[in-house]
Amino acid sequence: MSAAAARRRPALLIDLGGVLVHDKLPAASAKWAARLDISERDFVTAVYAGNDTEVLVGRMSGAEWWSVVRQRLGLTEGQLAEVRADLVAHPVWDRTLLDAVAALRGRAAVAFVSNAWPDARPNLGEVLETADVTVLSCEVGFAKPDPRIYTHTLDLLGVAAQDALFVDDMAPNVAAARALGMSAHQHTDRASTLDVLDAFAARLPASRTS
C-alpha cells in the first residue's frame, strides 16, 4: 500500500468528558454552592479558572492545582477529598455510545481526545482499550481548541484531516476541527450522536477478517 493510500484510512476522534463520560459538574456545582453558600458560578470559577494554561496542559500537577482549589474555596482536607470524588472519581460511562465506538475498531482508527488534568489516565481503566490512541491535553502540552492537539492526534493515527470525524460537546472545539478540514459533530444528546456514528459507519469498508 502506498503512503498516500495509507493516509486515506478513516478515523474517529471523540471527546471523553461530556460525551462518553457523564458530566458530573452540574450536580457537584449545585451541591457545593449550597454547602458553601456561594453561587454555582463561583464554585466553577474556583475549580477551573486559569486551569487551561496550567494544570490542563501539564504545567502543574493535579495535587498542586487541587491545593489552589482548596485555598480558593476555603475547604478542609476532608471537604477537598469530597469535592474531588464528586467531580472525578468513578467516571460514569455512556455504555451505548461506547459500544458504538468500539464497533468501529478494525474499520476505522479511533482516538479519544480529551482536555484532562494529570492523573486522569488511571481513571479510564480498561476503556482505553476501546481506542487506538488516547490523547490527553495534560500529557501533550496543548488543549482543545488548540489546533496542535488535533494535528498531533491525526499524526499518531496516520490519517488525514479530511478522512476524520470529530465529536465533542464544546462548540469551539468542534469549530477548530472543522477549520482543519475534519467533519465534526457537536454532541448534545445520545440519539443524535448515535445517528452521526451510524452514518459514519455506513461509509466504512467492511471489517477485515483473518
In a shared domain, residues 196 and 135? yes
Q: Tell me the mean pLDDT in the region 172-191.
A: 98
Kindly report the CATH number assigned to the domain that includes residue 17. 3.40.50.1000
Is 160 inside a domain boundary?
A: yes
CA angle, 146 then 138 then 60, to 5°: 115
In a shared domain, residues 106 and 15? yes
pLDDT tens-digit series, residues 142-175: 999 999 999 999 999 999 999 999 999 999 999 9
State the helix-helix crossing angle for 40-48 and 62-73, rounded to 10 degrees: 150
Last residue of a domain, one of 69, 88, 107: 88
Q: Hey, is 115 helix, strand or coil?
A: coil
Is 207 inside a domain boundary?
A: no
Higher pLDDT, 8 or 47: 47
Q: Hey, is 29 helix, strand or coil?
A: helix
Is 210 inside a domain boundary?
A: no
In a shared domain, residues 126 and 194? yes
In a shared domain, residues 12 and 44? no
| Enclosing domain of residue 58 | 25-88
For residue 178, the cross-strand partners are none
Give the phi and the psi of residue 121 in degrees, each rounded to 5: -55, -45
In a shared domain, residues 113 and 10? yes
In a shared domain, residues 109 and 15? yes
Is 35 inside a domain boundary?
A: yes
* pLDDT at residue number 207: 67
Residue 55 in contact with residue 62, Cβ under 8 Å?
yes
Q: Cα–Cα distance between 16 and 205 in angstroms, integer?
A: 26
* pLDDT at residue number 5: 47
* pLDDT at residue number 208: 55
In a shared domain, residues 59 and 118? no
Q: Name the H helices within the chain.
A: 3-6, 25-36, 40-48, 62-73, 77-88, 95-102, 121-124, 137-140, 147-157, 171-179, 190-202
Is 208 inside a domain boundary?
A: no
Higher pLDDT, 3 or 20: 20
* pLDDT at residue number 2: 42
Output the average pLDDT for the chain. Answer: 93
Higher pLDDT, 1 or 166: 166
How many folded domains does the chain comprise?
2
pLDDT tens-digit series, residues 70-128: 999 999 999 999 999 999 888 899 999 999 999 999 999 999 999 999 988 988 888 99
